[in-house]
């Protein structure tokens, strides 16, 4: 080994006796906003032993090369497999890199690789090495916590295998290698592989801040509460089953297009060879033969010009007992016109795959070279399979896979231009004639589709179909979006965002307000009063407490596992428009807040018997997660100190002492204040805004049997609840009904 400095040389002796150079001591996940990040993270605490004192420079010259070859070479959607460029350059220049950073980057490389295997476009955008009192922790953003912890184990194994044997005496003794571990992870995520359009929509939703939950490989649940929408790949939740089935039936689609007086092909449905021959007599040549129901261009035969070809095509399309369609061939180029919300938003020209000879390569080699394109990953585009259909097409033209094409000779490999069989998408949106857009939009409306892919054949898309002819041959109720996002040529189109606009046309329209009551004891009381107050104003409210939950005052009946994640579960209830939840600031430090954001945070006083430092850290997390306003008692110095740089207009101060100096100053500045004082000859809860009383509420609580402490707690709960409702933006006049609701509860 080539040691670079004395410190590393001194460590060498102890390394020789090291039996486990890297140990994962503990692993955990923090859900929602947490002490590290505003989204869920995975966290492992690692013992690097003496390796913590040295760096990559302590290894021999092959270590850096082997590391980069192992982790950078893993296929991914992004350059360098997600590794930091500066980090990679340091390794290439054999500069010093600490082992914690080496392990963290290895973890990120595997996460990024597995995202590709899963067809997930979202990559890890947060990671940190945290050196704290308890040791070294590696933290990174995680969408699948259990998977992330398995990734950490694989990365640790992968790093250990690269160490010299004297540093890792266990090499060769482990039952599983890194390659085997990685293969198991790849197998695991492929079972959850997303459909291409689903992945594209999920990525676009996250970019726009739309809450998104996967319900399967093709199903997405978007939004919260009553603002939810479902998507099945690119098909909206409002698409009727009748419309979907009509599109799946090519014969029925053709009839509907004829009724709409739109250009389409002449068709005949046949079920036998005799009917096929009769259809040939009616239609003439050339012909197209295809299954009545099917997709991805399977068993479609085009430009047939003899009875033998037509009968052979019929038998092959009819193999599985399906009815077969015979139609007149329409000359021209295949185009896909994408209609979203009754408007054509993108257009493609689809070209069949082809190879061009160079004078010395076989057709098979030319196909292999085309398939090396990184975009042909089965997600953005597809490889050209050397299947029986391709072999037969070559033979029909006097060619085989071993044929060497002369220079510049072009051979088309498929009869059809389906992207799924290797075709190339070329964006032509800016060239489409308005008449051609118009018939596509009319076809989508006629089929009652929010999202539709119209397959249109014409000689020249820039000219009207009225001039140069053309025909709609199919309509897809669940069109692919990736072909418009990653065209082989032309301008990429953000069509996923257009699909999301159908359900969420405005910013913030996907979320419901979330109000969090945070602190120690008493948070449940305030949350219940807040639930009452909001329901009294006509809102549909879900309440999530530590051990119980309700929707509009009725028990939510969650099982124990659901109760642990009650806020997240209730956000998926389609009947609610507001969520009220309690937050333990100390548990937030240990587990995360579950939620990623809140609109209003009510911050309760800290109890003296708790860990003040942990409480303050949890408060930092809450404040970072709060998008809107804060409700704070004027005597809560800890919270007000944390909010010292916050816009005062976003803070509602509450106090049962009318002469509180902070409260008075806040009131004089015109900000919102809730106080307890005499008003119109009675003790009342007053709501102040812009220096004047805008509403008053009855301050009496409980019965005569209630003790003073309980009465004060209930009174304080009322004040904080009223303040939170006002902070949410509910007008003062709408809060008039709150008094009656409180009296009923007392």
DSSP assignments along 73-126, one per residue: SS--SSGGGG--HHHHHHHHTT---BHHHHHHHHHHHHHHHHHHHTT-------
Q: Which helix (H) or strand (E) element contains residue 67?
A: helix 62-71
Which whole number is the average pLDDT over 393-403?
89
Of residues 473, 437, 445, the one with CA closest to residue 266: 473
Reported as a single tens digit per residue, the pLDDT across 110-144 is 999 999 999 999 888 899 999 988 889 999 999 89
Which whole number is the average pLDDT over 165-176?
72
Decide if pLDDT at 609 tops 70.
no
- How much is the pLDDT for 18? 37
Reported as a single tens digit per residue, the pLDDT across 454-510 is 999 999 999 999 999 999 998 999 999 999 999 999 999 999 999 999 999 987 789
Kindly list the distances between the CA atom of residue 521 and the CA atoms of 74, 142, 225, 600, in Å, as whole numbers in the listed order: 51, 32, 28, 19
- How much is the pLDDT for 454? 96
Decide if pLDDT at 62 tops 90.
no
Decide if pLDDT at 8 tops 60.
no
- How much is the pLDDT for 58? 78
For strands 673-679 and 651-655, give the pairing.
Answer: parallel
d(CA 125, CA 144): 14
DSSP assigned state of 232: E
Instruction: Note whether 138 and 103 are within 8 A (CB).
Output: yes
pLDDT band at residue 295 under the 50/70/90 scheme: low
Non-local CB neighbours of 508 within 8 Å, separated by 6+ positions: none
Of residues 516, 476, 480, 518, the one with CA closest to residue 499: 480
* Dihedral (CA of 599, 602, 607, 608) sign: positive
Residue 379 CA to chain centroid, in angstroms?
16
Kindly list the distances between the CA atom of residue 596 and the CA atoms of 38, 207, 211, 588, 622, in Å, as whole numbers in the listed order: 6, 15, 10, 12, 9
Decide if pLDDT at 1 tops 50.
no
Q: Are residues 535 and 492 in the same domain?
A: no
Number of domains in the chain: 4
Q: Are residues 462 and 533 in the same domain?
A: no
Decide if pLDDT at 565 tops 80.
yes
- How much is the pLDDT for 311? 87
Q: Are residues 324 and 418 in the same domain?
A: no
pLDDT band at residue 169 under the 50/70/90 scheme: low
| Count of other CB atoms within 10 angstroms of residue 663 | 22
d(CA 371, CA 325): 32
Residue 594 lies in a domain: yes
- How much is the pLDDT for 710? 54
Q: Are residues 447 and 570 in the same domain?
A: no
- How much is the pLDDT for 701? 58
Which whole number is the average pLDDT over 239-265?
89
DSSP reduced 3-state for 293: coil
- How much is the pLDDT for 516? 98
Non-local CB neighbours of 396 within 8 Å, separated by 6+ positions: none
Kindly list the distances between the CA atom of residue 615 and the CA atoms of 33, 517, 541, 609, 693, in Å, as whole numbers in the listed order: 15, 14, 28, 11, 34
**Among 190, 205, 235, residue at a domain's last position:** 190
Q: Are residues 497 and 533 in the same domain?
A: no
Instruction: Note whether 469 and 459 are within 8 A (CB).
Output: yes
DSSP reduced 3-state for 491: coil
Decide if pLDDT at 11 tops 50.
no
- How much is the pLDDT for 608? 56
| Count of other CB atoms within 10 angstroms of residue 607 | 12
Which whole number is the average pLDDT over 512-533?
93
Please report how the helices 273-283 and 307-317 are oriented relative to each other, as an axis angle in degrees rounded to 10.
130
- How much is the pLDDT for 326? 87
Q: What CATH code is carried by the domain that includes residue 418? A: 3.30.470.20
Backbone dihedral region for residue 161 (phi beyond 0: left; psi -120 to 50: alpha; all else: beta): alpha
d(CA 55, CA 158): 17
DSSP reduced 3-state for 476: strand
Decide if pLDDT at 303 tops 90.
no
Residue 456 lies in a domain: yes
Which whole number is the average pLDDT over 522-537?
93
Reported as a single tens digit per residue, the pLDDT across 305-340 is 788 888 888 888 787 657 788 888 888 999 999 999
- How much is the pLDDT for 704? 45
% of the chain beyond a pLDDT of 90 = 58
Which whole number is the average pLDDT over 175-183?
91
Reported as a single tens digit per residue, the pLDDT across 199-234 is 999 999 999 999 999 988 889 999 999 999 999 999
- How much is the pLDDT for 5? 39
Which tokens belong to 728? 């949410």
- How much is the pLDDT for 542? 97
- How much is the pLDDT for 678? 81
Which whole number is the average pLDDT over 78-93?
86
Residue 255 lies in a domain: no
Residue 731 CA to chain centroid, in angstroms?
35
Instruction: Note whether 609 and 520 are within 8 A (CB).
Output: no
Q: Are residues 314 and 446 in the same domain?
A: no
Residue 212 lies in a domain: no
Q: Are residues 32 and 159 in the same domain?
A: yes
Q: Are residues 324 and 378 in the same domain?
A: no
* Dihedral (CA of 666, 667, 668, 671) sign: positive
- How much is the pLDDT for 277? 87
Q: Are residues 541 and 497 in the same domain?
A: no
In terms of residue numbers, what domain contains 390? 333-503
d(CA 453, CA 445): 12
CA atoms in the 13 A half-sphere facing the CB of 55: 14
Q: Are residues 483 and 574 in the same domain?
A: no
d(CA 390, CA 399): 11
Residue 219 lies in a domain: no
**Among 276, 293, 328, residue at a domain's last position:** 328
pLDDT mean across residues, the chain:
88
**Residue 620 dihedral angles phi and psi, to the nearest 5°:** -60, -45
Count the helix, strand and coil residues of the chain and give each as a percent rounded to the nearest 5: 40, 25, 40
Reported as a single tens digit per residue, the pLDDT across 373-385 is 888 888 888 999 9
DSSP reduced 3-state for 254: helix
Q: What CATH code is carried by the domain that includes residue 730? A: 3.40.1190.10
Q: Are residues 600 and 649 in the same domain?
A: yes
Lowest mean pLDDT among 55-64, 213-222, 607-616, 636-645: 607-616
Which whole number is the average pLDDT over 419-439?
94
Of residues 236, 207, 231, 204, the one with CA closest to residue 218: 231
Residue 256 lies in a domain: no
Residue 135 lies in a domain: yes
pLDDT band at residue 79 under the 50/70/90 scheme: confident
Which whole number is the average pLDDT over 659-670?
91
Which whole number is the average pLDDT over 530-559?
95
Q: Are residues 607 and 740 in the same domain?
A: yes
**Among 150, 165, 190, residue at a domain's last position:** 190
Residue 547 lies in a domain: yes
737 or 537, which is more confident = 537
User: Which residues are registered as beta bridge partners of 136?
Assistant: 46, 131
User: What one-character-per-residue DSSP string does 670-713 give?
Assistant: T--EEEEEEETTEEEEEEEETTEEEEEEE---S-TTS-HHHHHH
Reported as a single tens digit per residue, the pLDDT across 683-716 is 888 999 999 999 888 777 555 455 555 556 677 8
- How much is the pLDDT for 56? 85
Decide if pLDDT at 528 tops 50.
yes
d(CA 127, CA 149): 14
């Amino acid at each position: 080994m080539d040691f670079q400095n004395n410190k590393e040389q001194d460590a060498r002796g102890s390394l020789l006796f090291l039996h486990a150079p890297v140990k994962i001591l503990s692993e955990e996940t923090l859900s929602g906003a947490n002490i590290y990040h505003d989204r869920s993270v995975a966290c492992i605490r690692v013992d690097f032993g003496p390796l913590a004192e040295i760096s990559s420079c302590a290894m021999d010259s092959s270590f850096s090369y082997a590391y980069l070859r192992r982790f950078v070479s893993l296929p991914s959607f992004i350059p360098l497999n997600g590794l930091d460029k500066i980090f990679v350059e340091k390794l290439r220049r054999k500069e010093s890199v600490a082992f914690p950073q080496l392990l963290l980057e290895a973890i990120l490389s595997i996460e990024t690789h597995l995202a590709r295997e899963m067809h997930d476009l979202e990559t890890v955008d947060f990671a940190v090495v945290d050196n704290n009192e308890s040791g070294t922790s590696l933290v990174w953003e995680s969408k699948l916590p259990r998977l992330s912890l398995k990734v950490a184990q694989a990365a640790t194994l992968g790093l250990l295998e690269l160490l010299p044997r004297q540093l890792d005496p266990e090499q060769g003794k482990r039952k599983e290698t890194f390659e085997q571990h990685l293969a198991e992870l790849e197998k695991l995520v492929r079972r959850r592989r997303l459909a291409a359009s689903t992945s594209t929509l999920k990525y676009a939703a996250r970019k726009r801040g739309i809450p998104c939950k996967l319900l399967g490989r093709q199903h997405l649940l978007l939004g919260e509460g009553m603002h939810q929408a479902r998507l099945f790949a690119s098909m909206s939740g409002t698409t009727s089953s009748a419309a979907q089935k009509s599109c799946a039936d090519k014969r029925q689609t053709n009839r509907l297009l004829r009724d709409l007086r739109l250009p389409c092909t002449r068709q005949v449905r046949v079920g036998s060879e005799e009917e096929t021959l009769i259809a040939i007599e009616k239609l003439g040549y050339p012909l197209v033969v295809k299954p009545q129901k099917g997709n991805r261009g399977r068993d479609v035969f085009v430009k047939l010009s003899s009875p033998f070809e037509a009968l052979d095509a019929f038998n092959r399309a009819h193999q599985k007992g399906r009815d077969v369609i015979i139609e007149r061939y329409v000359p021209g180029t295949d185009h896909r016109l994408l209609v979203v919300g009754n408007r054509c938003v993108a257009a493609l020209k689809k070209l069949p795959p082809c190879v061009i000879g160079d004078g010395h390569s076989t057709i098979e080699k030319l196909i292999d070279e085309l398939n090396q394109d990184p975009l042909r990953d089965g997600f953005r585009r597809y490889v050209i399979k050397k299947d029986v259909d391709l072999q037969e097409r070559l033979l029909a033209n006097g060619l085989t896979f071993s044929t060497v094409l002369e220079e510049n000779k072009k051979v088309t490999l498929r009869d059809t231009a389906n992207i799924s069989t290797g075709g190339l998408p070329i964006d032509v949106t800016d060239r489409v004639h308005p008449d051609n857009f118009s018939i596509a939009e009319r076809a989508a409306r006629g089929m009652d589709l929010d999202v539709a892919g119209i397959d249109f054949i014409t000689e020249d898309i820039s000219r009207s179909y009225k001039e140069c002819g053309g025909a709609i041959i199919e309509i897809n109720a669940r069109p692919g979006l990736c072909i418009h996002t990653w065209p082989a040529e032309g301008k990429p189109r953000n069509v996923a965002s257009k699909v999301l606009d159908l359900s969420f046309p405005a910013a913030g329209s996907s979320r419901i307000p979330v109000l969090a009551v945070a602190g120690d004891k008493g948070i449940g009381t305030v949350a219940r009063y807040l639930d009452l107050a909001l329901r009294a104003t006509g809102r549909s409210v879900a309440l999530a407490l530590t051990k119980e939950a309700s929707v509009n005052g009725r028990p939510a009946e969650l099982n124990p596992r659901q109760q642990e994640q009650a806020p997240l579960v209730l956000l998926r209830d389609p009947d609610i428009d507001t969520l009220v939840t309690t937050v333990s600031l100390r548990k937030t430090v240990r587990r995360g807040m579950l939620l990623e954001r809140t609109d209003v945070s009510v911050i309760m006083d800290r109890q003296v018997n708790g860990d003040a430092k942990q409480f303050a850290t949890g408060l930092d997390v809450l404040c970072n997660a709060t998008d809107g306003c804060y409700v704070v008692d004027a005597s809560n110095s800890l919270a007000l100190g944390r909010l010292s740089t916050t816009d005062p207009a976003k803070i509602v101060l509450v106090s049962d002492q009318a002469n509180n100096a902070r409260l008075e100053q806040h009131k004089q500045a015109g900000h919102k204040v809730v106080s307890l004082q005499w008003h119109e000859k009675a003790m009342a809860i007053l709501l102040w805004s812009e220096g004047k009383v805008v509403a008053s509420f009855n301050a009496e609580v409980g019965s005569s049997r209630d003790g003073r402490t309980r009465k004060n707690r209930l009174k304080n709960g009322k004040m904080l609840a009223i303040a939170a409702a006002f902070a949410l933006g509910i007008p003062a006049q709408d809060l008039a009904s709150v008094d009656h609701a409180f009296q009923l509860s007392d």
